[in-house]
Amino acid sequence: MEGSSLQNITLCGLGVVLLILASISLFAYGSLIGVGLAATVSNPILIVAIANTVSLVLLAGLYSQLHLLLAHTQRTNEELLVEIGECRREEAQKTELIQALQESEERFRVALKNSPIVVSNQDTDLRYTWVYNPASGVEGSTLVGQLDTELFDPENAQRIIPIKQRVLTTGVGERQEIVITVDGKLRYYDLTVEPLWNQAGEIVGITCAAANITNIHIREQTLHAIFEETIDAILIADDEGYYVEVNPSASQLFGMPNSQLIGHRIADFMEPGFNFEQVWRSFVEMGQSMG
């Protein structure tokens, strides 16, 4: 559109120049004809007047065309100014979008800084196209272009690749806990894989987020060991007061196996007449208020 307007302006400018030159030439030509005829006829003044009149008529026609060209040029200039204004508005919008994107990216980087989360993109061949916050202090750019089979040993790669391939095939995201070996030690990750779509609605890759939950898993294992081995009876109930987990010491205390205790309600072991519902409701509300 902008190129078309500039072309119109150029053509109009050339037309104006040509009309001016043609007008000058025509006026001079008419005058010369009049002068030439005046030398051969008995009434030269009349001949010159007629020649000049014809020249003026032609010049009037040329002036009319020139006026139309100038009007067209003015309209073209106005259209160009409108287009320039639109371009400036679009440029301002692009600048705002770029600034918003930069701010969003900065928040993203701050949120992930020093966190145990690795975020990455891979194409349909599962080659890494972008990696942020990789483990072991490795630069993400050094991983771009590589496959999981090039970064992990075959056993670890086969735990990861099938998940990603399913997401590419089905277009449905998945979240799984995976275990891989890093430097001879087990590492637990909460892996989320989502399809990456283009504007045409086609899958062009995947986005992955892997959170290192090894420390959480170790703490859970430690707590589970304490739960199983302590001599104290521990029973875990849900919000309705039903047992969902009991340890061996609790089974020994009640004289019932775990399978029988789980599913029983605390109220089942209370003395008759005890207002369990009111006490339990107050207990739950107090726990909720404390977070």
Per-residue confidence (pLDDT) for residue 129, from 0 to 100: 94
Per-residue confidence (pLDDT) for residue 2, from 0 to 100: 47
Per-residue confidence (pLDDT) for residue 242, from 0 to 100: 92
Q: How many CA atoms lie within 13 A of 257 on its CB side?
A: 2
Rounded to whole angstroms, how far apart are CA atoms 190 and 30? 94
DSSP symbols for 216-263? HHHHHHHHHHHHHH-SS--EEE-TTSBEEEE-HHHHHHHTS-HHHHBT
Rounded to whole angstroms, how far apart are CA atoms 259 and 236? 14
Please tell me whether residue 118 adopts helix, strand or coil conformation.
strand
Give the orientation angle of helix 44-112 with respect to helix 2-38, to 10 degrees.
170
pLDDT (tens place) for every residue of the chain, 291 residues total: 444 555 555 555 555 555 555 555 555 555 555 455 445 545 555 555 565 566 566 666 666 766 677 777 777 777 888 888 888 888 888 888 888 877 777 776 766 677 788 899 999 999 999 998 887 667 777 889 999 999 888 999 999 999 999 999 999 999 999 998 887 888 999 999 999 999 899 999 999 999 999 999 889 889 989 999 999 999 999 888 999 999 999 999 989 998 889 999 988 888 888 888 888 888 888 877 665
Backbone phi, psi, residue 235, to 5°:
-125, 135
Q: pTM above 0.75?
A: no
Residue 272: both structure tokens together: 């008759």
